[in-house]
Amino acid sequence: MKFDFAGQRVLVTGGAHGFGRAISLAFARSGAQVWTCDTNAGGLTQTAVLAEQGGLPLRTRTVDVGDRAAVQALVAEVTADGGPLDVLVNNAGGVLGQVGRPIEEISEADWHALFRVNVDGAFYFAQAAAPHMKRQGRGRIVNISSGAGLGVSLTGIQAYASAKAAQIGLTRQLAHELGRHGITVNTVAPGFVRSNPTTERQWESYGEDGQRRLLDGIALRRLGTADDIANAVMFFASPAADWVTGQVLSVDGGR
């Protein structure tokens, strides 16, 4: 399926690497005007260089998705000329360097930090984008959750699994609230993909035996790529998904 987003405006969070970078570049290659943000300024620069090399329309901004005022300012910038915001992709998230530990060792700060980046950020961006999409009478919001939100986290990080499950709940609730305005809200739940420094460290930590067990548990017997996730996002954002909302698409090679 060839996706065409010519003339559309797309905002992707967490575009400094991995899924966010792949999603941003995929939309840009399909003709969209793309804005992407992250707190990782160096990674954003690399994303911008890749876009420039391909002659792609992409703008980057350094924004903390957990800062509601900064989120609102970015959405205001994207729509400053009165133009539309067609697609919002809430990809920013992750484990922020945390590792699995027993529940009694988890601090209040560690727990809230993962909800802030994975859930609060998605809520703040949806909250800022919704009025523009309502005025347009259309819009697409796609959240990037995780297989951890549907089952258990391979990392053993309680807050990550809980936050990703909360993101799915937010998706379903917003789908019902915003559907009457022509806005769809869906979630992509990726399986394990080696897409950034954190997942590379996780992969190496398994050793050869653990890596083999992980692959044996995947129906297709291979890991996915960031482009596999980008393709799913673009489906949800495309006219092919006009009557699809409140759904979770597992992109995990079959579990």
Q: Which of 3, 19, 160, 235 is labelled catalytic?
A: 160
What is the pLDDT, as a whole number, of residue 2?
Answer: 84
Cβ-based burial of 220 (10 A; exposed 0-12, middle 13-18, buried ≥19): exposed
This prediction has a pTM of 0.95
Q: How far apart are the first and last CA of the chain?
A: 24
Q: What is the DSSP letter of 119?
A: I
- Do residues 224 and 190 lie in contact, with contact meaning Cβ atoms separated by under 8 Å? yes
Phi, psi (deg, nearest 5) at residue 250: -80, 120
∠ Cα 32 183 162 (to 5°): 95
Sequence-separated (6 or more) residues with CB below 8 Å from residue 229 = 19, 22, 23, 144, 188, 190, 193, 195, 251
Active-site annotation holds for 124: no
Model pLDDT for residues 81-121, shown as the tens digit of each residue: 999 999 999 999 999 999 999 999 999 999 999 999 999 99
The CB-side HSE value for 215 (13 A sphere, CA atoms) comes to: 12
What is the pLDDT, as a whole number, of residue 68?
Answer: 98
What is the pLDDT, as a whole number, of residue 165?
Answer: 97
What is the pLDDT, as a whole number, of residue 186?
Answer: 98
Q: Which residues of the chain have pLDDT under 50?
A: none
The residue with tokens 């729509």 is 79
**Residue among 139, 152, 93 nearest 120 (CA):** 93
Sequence-separated (6 or more) residues with CB below 8 Å from residue 208 = none
CA distances to 32, 83, 202 from 142, in Å:
16, 20, 26
**Residue among 24, 29, 9, 250 nearest 147 (CA):** 250
Give the span between the Cα atoms of 4 and 164, in whole angstroms: 29
Q: Is CATH 3.40.50.720 the right assignment for the domain spanning 9-193+226-246?
A: yes
Sequence-separated (6 or more) residues with CB below 8 Å from residue 118 = 92, 93, 94, 160, 163, 164, 166, 167
∠ Cα 66 67 73 (to 5°): 130
